[in-house]
Amino acid sequence: MATLCRPAVSVPEHVITMEETLQLARTRHPDHPQLPLALRLIQNTGVRTRHIVQPIEETLRHPGFEIRNKLYESEAKARVPEVVRRALDDAETLTTDIDVIIYVSCTGFMMPSLTAWLINAMDFSSDTRQIPIAQLGCAAGGAAINRAHDFCTAYPEKNALIVACEFCSLCYQPTDLGVGSLLSNGLFGDGVAAAVVRGRGGTGVSLERNGSYLIPKTEEWIMYDVRATGFHFLLDKRVPATMEPLAPALHGLARQHGWNASELDFYIVHAGGPRILDDLSKFLHVPHSAFRFSRATLTEYGNIASAVVLDALRRLFDEGGAGHAARGLLAGFGPGITAEMALGRWQHTT
């Protein structure tokens, strides 16, 4: 069985608090007709702090998409290797043990992908396979876990490296003044995460089954409008209610495996916002505490897109992990509207 090992996570050094975010909204948009609503929505996220790659004064400027994308590339190259090294160490693996790198990101663009640069810069083998995923947004963390699981199922003696790199602050658009955009400005943060999925051995989540589900006719609910100024994030007001149609997919995957999704031992899910977690608790029939790791990520880092699932799992490791053979669910949600879901048991190795 493929085992998802301890993730390594890093967030940038620049911090913006909830109160600073609210004050910025008040001072930059004092005459906005829906400012009270936007402020209330931001407060309701529960995000206390977020980390960003630039000081807030620079983040609020828009020097153009070209400069921003170059900054995305330079920051990725500066920050990803250290996180990868920690993930390899935690999994007791070397670069030469890795057979595929799955790189997920939706906040910048590079071709060739950062995977090519990593192979050269960190001395991975030249025959390492590359799977860059750029357009699944927040669901990509779950998708990366599932594609690593698929790979290690097909090649049981091989290992996969997952890397999630998200600099959401580089997508800030000062001219986007819809309520959804103002909410996003107070919700998203920056972060880098990495984890190894070992085909054999390792301590962590032994992956047993995965699946994907797309809610029909919702592809415009979360999307980018790509313009000369870069990525303009569009968020439909119906998105927070999507757990009601997605919960049956989670229940269905568990039933296929002979499990009850309401009776598992741990839950690692994407923290898109408190409404998402509250509704998932309701429709999965589990206590709010079941999502404490996701809530902690949301509170301390905000929504760090594809890196959320890996950070929430890191917090489970920090708590000491789960009991041997404890059953769990991992899930990422994002554009489509798509759910990427996985089931596994906690595995200890000596």
Do 93 and 139 share a domain, yes or no? yes
Secondary structure of residue 232 in the 3-state scheme: strand
Do 187 and 217 share a domain, yes or no? no
CA distances from 205 to 142, 197, 276, 309, 321 (A): 13, 9, 24, 13, 9
Question: Residue 255: which residues within 8 A CB-CB, separation 6 or more?
Answer: 261
Phi, psi of 222 (to 5 degrees): -130, 120
Secondary structure of residue 340 in the 3-state scheme: strand
Supply angle C-alpha 62, 15, 37, rounded to 5. Answer: 70
Q: Which of 115, 91, 209, 225 is nearest to 163 (CA)?
A: 115
Do 163 and 35 share a domain, yes or no? yes
Domain that holds residue 121: 3-198
Reading the block at residue 16, the tokens are 């913006």
Total count of domains within the chain: 2
Looking at 145, 171, 198, the residue that finishes a domain is 198
Catalytic status, residue 138: yes
CA distance 245 to 133: 25
Q: Please tell me what DSSP assigns to residue 188.
A: B
List the pLDDT tens digit at each of the 350 positions of the chain.
899 999 999 999 999 999 999 999 999 899 899 999 999 999 999 899 999 999 999 999 999 999 999 999 999 999 999 999 999 999 999 999 999 999 999 999 999 999 999 999 999 999 999 999 999 999 999 999 999 999 999 999 999 999 999 999 999 999 988 888 888 889 999 999 999 999 999 999 999 999 999 999 999 999 999 999 999 998 888 988 899 999 999 999 999 999 999 999 999 999 788 899 999 999 999 999 999 999 999 999 999 999 999 999 999 999 999 999 999 999 999 999 999 999 999 998 75
CA distance 257 to 129: 30
CA distance 6 to 238: 34
Which residue in the list 138, 152, 168, 171 is annotated as catalytic?
Answer: 138
CATH number, domain with residue 92: 3.40.47.10
Do 159 and 242 share a domain, yes or no? no
Do 186 and 208 share a domain, yes or no? no
DSSP H or E run through 291: none
256-294 b/e with 16+ CB inside 10 Å = b?
A: eeebebeebebbbbbbbbbbbbebbbebbebeeebbbbb
Q: Which of 301, 291, 312 is nearest to 47 (CA)?
A: 301
Do 52 and 193 share a domain, yes or no? yes
User: Look-up: residue for tokens 């085909």?
Assistant: 199
